[in-house]
């Protein structure tokens, strides 16, 4: 029976092939191979920086023991501060001896100070990391007054009336996201043993509330700025940590943006406000409006290179709508309807403009809009690009230059040609 299980595990591979595949997954795809159980293997020549925990359940000593603990001391980007050793055999006295012996031989010419810190007290280190991470976040958010949702959005996303603010505040947001990730990781390392770090129950609960607070703030700012896609790589691990150590049903966020168009987003946000108490509605309306405006602005900024003339008009319309909202010249429901239509136009230019029948692709539409609505010239240029572009032509070199020469033959204006080349380069269908 055991042999059959073993055969199924190998799945037609030899033992060597299976081992090579398992090691490769553990190193390159740790989410798919989270645990390796080995006997007398991988003590040398096995470099897996993501390996964080080592469970020792056999008697080891001297260099073998030292080599084993070195499997988890590799630095791995920002997500790993140090490795953990779970010692089922009470080998730490041997471990200290192994380090002493090893350093006396391998590092004989080094001063004692050079090899200090090979072993540290985990509780002392963990407490210091947690408190440092928390202090860094408190300092980062200290300039925000009052500490409410609209103020945080303005601080980390800027003023929606200024088209450049969302880009200029990006560094602040990235700093916030990284700081929160660091705090959550530091907290998750000790969440189940806060008393061992010297915290009272009330102090531990206060820290937990602070971690939750900054976790929710991170989500709010990500959503308000439209950064939810850019930082998606952080999500799986962070979600697991938050679910394990924070409240699974966290405080209400502005909205869940994933897999929703801008129009869907606006409808959902409008519906959410219906249940907001009257005394809180004004602040929520401001936060929701600025969230929508930042997301629309981000799409305009990201897409502007594909069709500068069109998105310049969309930017002007957005500015006018923001001004109307801030001057209270239209009520909130009318504002939602207007920005819903604007979001639709931003997402799909063809829904807003009646293009000629032959202008039937986004690339042709972009050329048409930026060639003063000259249908014939747009079609000629589109055909020339499709005919003359070489494979990998966006090389900034000879291939791109050849295409630019062909475009200039048609346009006969070097400056306009350069403008059009930037638009052509931004079209995915070319």
| Residue-level pLDDT at 317 | 93
Q: Residue 268 has what pLDDT?
A: 67
pLDDT tens-place string over residues 310-351: 999 999 999 999 999 888 888 888 888 888 889 888 888 887
Give the C-alpha separation, 100 to 160, whole Å.
Answer: 61
State residue 329's pLDDT score. 81
pLDDT score at 132: 94
* pLDDT (0 to 100) of residue 16: 79
- Consecutive 10-residue runs of the chain (430 residues): their mean pLDDT? 57 76 79 76 74 77 68 66 69 56 47 53 85 94 90 91 88 93 89 90 93 92 75 48 51 43 66 60 78 87 91 93 87 86 85 87 93 94 93 88 93 93 92
Q: What is the pLDDT of residue 250?
A: 43
Residue 392: strand, helix, or coil: coil
**Structural class in CATH, domain 2-120:** alpha beta
CA 129 to chain centre: 22
The whole-model pTM stands at 0.60
Give 155-164 contacts, CB < 8 A, sequence gap 24+: 156/221, 156/224, 156/225, 157/221, 157/224, 157/225, 157/290, 157/294, 160/289, 160/290, 160/293, 160/294, 160/297, 160/322, 161/319, 161/322, 161/323, 161/326, 163/297, 163/300, 163/301, 163/315, 163/319
Instruction: Domain ranges for the chain, please list them.
Output: 2-120, 123-245, 262-351, 362-425
What is the model's pLDDT at position 309? 93
Which tokens hold the place of 327?
């001057």
pLDDT at residue 331, as a whole number: 83
- pLDDT of 137-165, one tens digit each? 999 999 999 888 889 999 999 988 888 88
Task: Quote the distance between the C-alpha of residue 251 and its chain's center.
Answer: 21
The pLDDT of residue 245: 55
CA 220 to CA 153: how far, in whole Å?
8
Question: SS3 for 53?
Answer: strand
Q: What pLDDT was estimated at residue 202?
A: 93
pLDDT for residue 251: 41
Contact 319, 161 (CB under 8 A): yes
What pLDDT score was predicted for residue 107? 43
Helices (H) and strands (E) in the chain, counts: 18, 2
> What are the two backbone dihedrals, phi and then psi, of residue 297, each rounded to the nearest 5 degrees?
-60, -40
Q: What is the pLDDT of residue 90?
A: 64
């Amino acid at each position: 029976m055991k042999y059959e299980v073993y055969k199924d595990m190998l799945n037609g591979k030899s033992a060597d092939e299976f081992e090579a595949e398992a090691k490769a997954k553990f190193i390159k795809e740790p989410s798919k191979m989270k645990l390796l159980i080995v006997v007398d293997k991988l003590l040398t020549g096995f470099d897996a920086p993501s390996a964080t925990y080592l469970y020792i359940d056999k008697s080891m000593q001297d260099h073998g023991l030292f080599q084993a603990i070195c499997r988890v001391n590799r630095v791995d980007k920002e997500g790993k501060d140090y490795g953990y050793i779970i010692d089922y055999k009470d080998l730490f006295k041997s471990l200290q001896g192994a380090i002493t012996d090893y350093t006396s031989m391998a590092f004989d010419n080094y001063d004692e100070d050079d090899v200090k810190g090979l072993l540290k007290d985990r509780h002392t280190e963990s407490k210091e990391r947690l408190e440092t991470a928390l202090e860094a976040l408190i300092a980062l958010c200290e300039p925000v007054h009052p500490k409410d949702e609209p103020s945080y959005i303005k601080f980390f996303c800027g003023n929606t009336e200024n088209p450049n603010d969302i880009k200029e505040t990006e560094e602040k947001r990235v700093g916030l996201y990284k700081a929160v990730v660091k705090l959550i990781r530091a907290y998750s390392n000790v969440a189940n043993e806060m008393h061992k770090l010297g915290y009272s129950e009330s102090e531990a609960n206060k820290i937990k509330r602070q971690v939750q607070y900054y976790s929710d703030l991170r989500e709010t700012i990500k959503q308000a700025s439209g950064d939810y896609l850019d930082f998606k790589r952080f999500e799986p691990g962070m979600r697991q940590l938050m679910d394990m150590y924070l409240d699974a049903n966290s405080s209400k966020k502005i909205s869940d943006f994933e897999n929703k168009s801008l129009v869907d987003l606006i409808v959902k946000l409008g519906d959410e406000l219906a249940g907001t108490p009257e005394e809180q509605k004004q602040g929520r309306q401001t936060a929701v409006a600025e969230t929508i405006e930042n997301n629309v602005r981000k799409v305009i900024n990201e897409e502007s290179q594909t069709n500068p003339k069109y998105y310049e008009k969309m930017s002007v319309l957005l500015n006018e709508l923001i001004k109307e909202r801030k001057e209270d010249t239209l009520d909130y429901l009318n504002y939602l309807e207007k920005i819903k239509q604007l979001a639709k136009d931003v997402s799909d230019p063809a829904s807003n403009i009646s293009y000629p029948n032959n202008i039937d692709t986004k690339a042709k539409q972009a050329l048409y809009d930026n060639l003063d609505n000259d249908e014939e010239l747009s079609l000629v240029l589109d055909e020339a690009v499709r005919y003359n572009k070489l494979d990998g032509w966006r090389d900034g070199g000879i291939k791109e230059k050849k295409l630019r020469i062909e475009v200039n033959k048609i346009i006969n204006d070097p400056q306009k040609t350069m403008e059009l080349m930037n638009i052509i380069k931004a079209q995915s269908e070319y």
